Amino acid sequence: MMDTDRHRPAERRLVKPMMLFMFSAFLLLGLKDFNWLSFVLAILVPLGLHITTLLLPRLFPADTLLLGMANFLCAVGILTLYRMDPERGMNQIVMYALGLGVMLLGILYIRFWQRLKATVPLVAVAAVVLMAMPVFFGRERNGAKAWIALFGVSFQPSEIAKLAHLVVLAFLLSRRRVMMAMIFAGACLVLLMLQKDLGTALIYYGITLILIFSATGSLTRSGLGTAGAAAGAVLGYSMFSHVKRRVAIWVDPWVDHRGSGYQIVQSLIAMANGGLWGTGLGLGNANVIPEYSTDFIFSVILNEFGVLFGLCVIAVYALIFIRGVSIAMRSRTKFHTLLALGCASFIALQAFVIIGGNIKLIPLTGVTLPLVSYGGTSLISSLGIMGLLQGVASVNQEDIKEDQMIALIGEES
Amino acid sequence: MSGLTSPVFELVSMGLRYWLVFLAVLIIWRAVRLMQKDNRLYRKTLRQLPDAGLVGELVDLETGEAFPLPREGMIGSGRASDIRLDDIRRRAVEIAFRAGYGIKLIPSHRKHSMRLDDEGIRPGGDYALHGSVLEIGGRAYRFRLFEGLDVPERKTVPAAPYMAEPLAQEDVWSGQMVMAAPPPLPPGESDFSQAAQSWPVSVDIGFPPPRDEYRTPQEDVPIDGEYWQPPQEWEGHDGY
């Protein structure tokens, strides 16, 4: 974002309706049962939006537009979760605060990249080790063995490894080490397949393909990659029973609407019940969907806020993607370009996969809606990805300043 | 307290649906406007900085043709190369500017015939400085880096392959450079008149060129919160 005073009023104009939105919504929830916590949140959440979107960028360089969009999605997630289950809503606020810290680390990592790029081999090894842990010590949940518990904290390593995956791929491809990048991505994919976490594997694969195509411009490699994806899908379908079940549910969920198709059927009913304008905040009944706080949070949003609001949420993701691509195109180095493109694509692709699954456009996969769904690991990793993107944006800003300074030196001489 | 009665809450909540959707649409609208405004401002800034993202030029010592030199890129004959030269490999050499060092040249292939300043380039790469000569594909190119970049100075600049003696640093900065080809024609001159002329051995091409010499005047753009103004005596040049 061009950091000039002329932009400040425009940024404030963007944040004001967000604050008003959150104030109105939490106030309404407070009026439902005169819960003091809702009234407190009606003040604190808009205030938090103001501080994180307008004041934090004064302390560390950030793209305010991107930050505003990400904060709005997080706030919608907190609101929806608080409405469904206040305890989860409060947990999400804590995770959001932690995520902001990770975002700051992401920014710093990119800003000090020249000094920290020596850590890339370590990051790559850490990513592979993290991804391998659930294969040996993981707990199975919804058919996937993707979770581990360390020191009493349960988390999904593949979510954290996303950040490492992006950094390592961008680094290797920027140095034209295509084969090494493919080996690294292949190792991650094999480990994800062993975890049977096919939704995440699909996203990792898609990102790898996008980055390889962007870095090399090779249609042959990309074509082979796409063919490999098709072959992998067929292989996954024939190997894993839960994949077969999910495809069958996708084709016709009503065949077993009380059993395996229960989730998707309830999701479709909730969305249809919401209609264009929604049932009204606090009046929905989407909590009958089993995974309403994670995989199906988009259905809950459509149920209570309506299809029009759902389209706005999709538009926010589209804006984040467009902004990310714009940041990538403004970058001066290949590493930054690839990293920004990867980050933007990761958020967009994950949103597409889960929203598509919710509305029965594609088979359902167990991934979260980035920045919105309940879950500490997911929120923290999504904010970490936003941090990497913000880091690239801030480096771009520095580069433009440097160009302006060189131009001034040229004028003086 | 028990809160609003169910019918009243329903009424308020259903009424508020439209308000919330209106606010969401307003947020999207303002975000799109802000993005457009930012893109306009960025393009405007770039118009004022036509060399943004560049660190100098690579000049063909035979024809005088100059190729803009990006911070990072690839020299080759392929479609994806940032600097496309004929009669070389599709991806010949990778370039990357590094502050304090210069431009690192990393050959894409172990076996190559490229030479930098009369020495073969090592597979791991070598640094080119301002005035360095790269011989590639049977031609010689000189690196001309912008002033203000953090690049180490060199004592002498190597001669082009057809020059007897290397240029001293002061010769380079005083603007004297041997040209094998004539400078661009002045407006209105035809090729026939050019053919009849005898070109001087040494031509002043303003070496290195001040960054703004060939800049076209544009609207004001903010620089660090202020607005950049072209100098009063500024006169545009179409070239050097």
Confidence of residue B74 (pLDDT cuts 50, 70, 90): confident
The yes-or-no verdict on residue B193 having pLDDT over 90 is: no
Give residue A413's pLDDT. Answer: 64
- Contact of A12 with chain B, judged by CB distance below 8 Å, is answered with no
- Per-residue pLDDT of B95-140, as tens digits, reads 888 878 889 998 888 778 888 888 888 888 889 888 889 998 888 9
Partner residue opposite A312 with nearest CB, options B10, B25, B223: B25
Interatomic CA distance for residues B240 and B236, integer angstroms: 10
The yes-or-no verdict on residue B225 having pLDDT over 50 is: no
Structural domain spans, chain B: 1-51, 54-184+191-204
**Contact yes or no for A17 and B26 at CB 8 A:** yes
**Contact yes or no for B72 and A326 at CB 8 A:** no
Give residue B161's pLDDT. Answer: 54
Query: Using a CB-CB distance cutoff of 8 angstroms, which residues of chain B are in contact with residue A10?
Result: 30, 33-34, 37
The yes-or-no verdict on residue B218 having pLDDT over 50 is: no
**Contact yes or no for B33 and A334 at CB 8 A:** no
Query: Using a CB-CB distance cutoff of 8 angstroms, which residues of chain A are in contact with residue B225?
Result: 4-5
Please tell me the pTM assigned to this model: 0.80
**Contact yes or no for B3 and A34 at CB 8 A:** yes
Give residue B200's pLDDT. Answer: 38
Rounded mean pLDDT, B161-173:
52
The yes-or-no verdict on residue B173 having pLDDT over 80 is: no
Q: Which residues pair with B221 in a beta bridge?
A: B228
Confidence of residue B167 (pLDDT cuts 50, 70, 90): low
**Contact yes or no for A319 and B32 at CB 8 A:** yes
Rounded mean pLDDT, B84-105:
87
CB pairs under 8 A between A and B: 175
Q: Which of A34-38, A42-46, B227-231, B235-239 is predicted with the least confidence, judged by mean pLDDT?
A: B235-239
Q: In terms of pLDDT, which residue wins out, B87 or B223?
A: B87
Query: Using a CB-CB distance cutoff of 8 angstroms, which residues of chain B are in contact with residue A21?
Result: 20, 23-24, 27
Domain count, chain A: 1
Give residue B214's pLDDT. Answer: 40
Separation in Å, CA of A199 to nearest CA in chain B: 29
Amino acid identity, position A171: F
Mean pLDDT across chain B:
71
Interatomic CA distance for residues A71 and A69, integer angstroms: 5
Separation in Å, CA of A49 to nearest CA in chain B: 13
Query: Do residues A383 and A342 make contact, with C-beta atoms less than 8 angstroms apart?
Result: no
Interatomic CA distance for residues B95 and A332, integer angstroms: 13
Q: In terms of pLDDT, which residue wins out, B100 or B60?
A: B60
Alpha-carbon torsion angle B107, B109, B110, B113, nearest 10? -70
Interatomic CA distance for residues B132 and B115, integer angstroms: 10
B102: Cβ contacts below 8 Å, ≥ 6 apart: B127, B128, B129, B130, B132, B145, B151, B152
Separation in Å, CA of A185 to nearest CA in chain B: 23
Q: Which residues of chain A have pLDDT under 70?
A: 1-8, 410-411, 413
Containing domain of residue A114, as a range? 5-412
Interatomic CA distance for residues A67 and B56, integer angstroms: 35
Query: Using a CB-CB distance cutoff of 8 angstroms, which residues of chain A are in contact with residue B34?
Result: 7, 10-11, 13-14, 65
Confidence of residue B160 (pLDDT cuts 50, 70, 90): low
**Contact yes or no for A21 and B23 at CB 8 A:** yes
Separation in Å, CA of A325 to nearest CA in chain B: 12
Q: In terms of pLDDT, which residue wins out, B216 or A397?
A: A397
CATH number assigned to the domain with residue range B54-184+191-204, chosen from the 4 options 3.30.1330.80, 2.60.200.20, 1.20.210.10, 3.90.420.10? 2.60.200.20
Closest residue on chain B to A66 (Cα): B31
The yes-or-no verdict on residue B148 having pLDDT over 50 is: yes
- Per-residue pLDDT of B47-57, as tens digits, reads 887 777 788 88
